[in-house]
Amino acid sequence: MVLLAVIPGILLFLVVWKFDTVEKESPALLCKLFVFGALSILAAILLRTLGVHAFTPLFKGDRSIWFLFVDSFVLTALIEECAKILVLKFTTWKNKEFNYTFDAIVYAVCVSVGFMTAENIVYLIKYRGEVEAVRLLLPIFAQIIISIFMGYFYGLAKLADASGDKKGAKIHLFEAFLIPFVMHGMFEFTWGASKLVLFIIFAVYVAAITIVAICGFVRLSRSDKMIPESRAEKSSASEEW
C-alpha cells in the first residue's frame, strides 16, 4: 500500500518532466519543490483541524450537503491550494532556472506530487493501511491535472512580470490560485456527495478537465516560450558588473 501511495505520483511527474524538452530543471530544485510540497501538508492538517472545530458547531454536528460544501471548498481546496501556490511562489519565482513558461507546469506538478504523496502516507497511517486503492490513486491523478492549470497561469504571471506588466502578473498569479481552488473544490464536493446526480457530474467533470489539461499540456510543451530577463534582474546584473 505504501508503494501505491508513492509510486504513481512520481511516475506521472516523470511523464510531465519528459515533455519539458527545451531545458530540463535541476534535480536539486525539483527535490526542493517535492520536499517543501510534502512538508506543507503539516500546515494544511493544522489549519483543517482548526477549521473543522470552528465550523462543526455552526452545523450542530449535521453532516449535510452544506457542510460537505464548506468542507470541500474551504477546509480542503482553499487550504491546500494556498499551501501549494505559496510553496511554488517562494521557491521558484526568483530562481534563475525559471526561464521558460513550461517550467511553471513542471514546478506546480512537482509540488503537488510532494503534497499528495505526504497526504497519502498520512491517510495510510491514520487508517492503518486500510484504504481503498481508488482513494489513493484518483486524488493523485486529479491533483496533477489541476496543478497543470496552476502551472499554466503561473507561467503566464512570470512572463508578464518579466515583460514589465505588473498588473498582468498579479492577475495571472491570482488565476493560478483561483482556477485550481475552484476545480479542487468541485472535485471534492462531487466525489464526496453520495448522490447519483452529483456522481454523474463528477464523472463528466473529471473527464472534461482531463481532456482540456492534456490537450493544453501537449500544446504548451510544443510552443514553450522563453521568459526574458526582467528589468530588475538586468539592473542588478549591470550593478554587479
Do 105 and 220 contact (CB within 8 A), yes or no?
Answer: yes
Q: Return the SS3 of 236.
A: helix
Task: Note whether residue 108 is domain-resident.
Answer: yes
Look at residue 63 and tell me whether its pLDDT is greater than 70.
no
Q: Output b/e per residue, 19-55; b: 16+ Cβ within 10 A.
A: ebeeeebeeebbebbbbbbbebbeebeebbeebeeee
Look at residue 103 and tell me whether its pLDDT is greater than 80.
yes
Task: Note whether residue 191 is domain-resident.
Answer: yes
The count of domains in the chain is: 1
* Domain span at 170: 2-225
pTM: 0.89
Look at residue 231 and tell me whether its pLDDT is greater than 60.
no
Task: Note whether residue 233 is domain-resident.
Answer: no
Rounded Cα–Cα distance for residues 130 and 124 (Å):
7
Task: Note whether residue 83 is domain-resident.
Answer: yes
Would you state the pLDDT for residue 99?
92
Task: Note whether residue 151 is domain-resident.
Answer: yes
State which amino acid sits at residue 113.
V
- 58, 82, 179, 183 from 145: Cα distances, Å: 33, 17, 12, 10
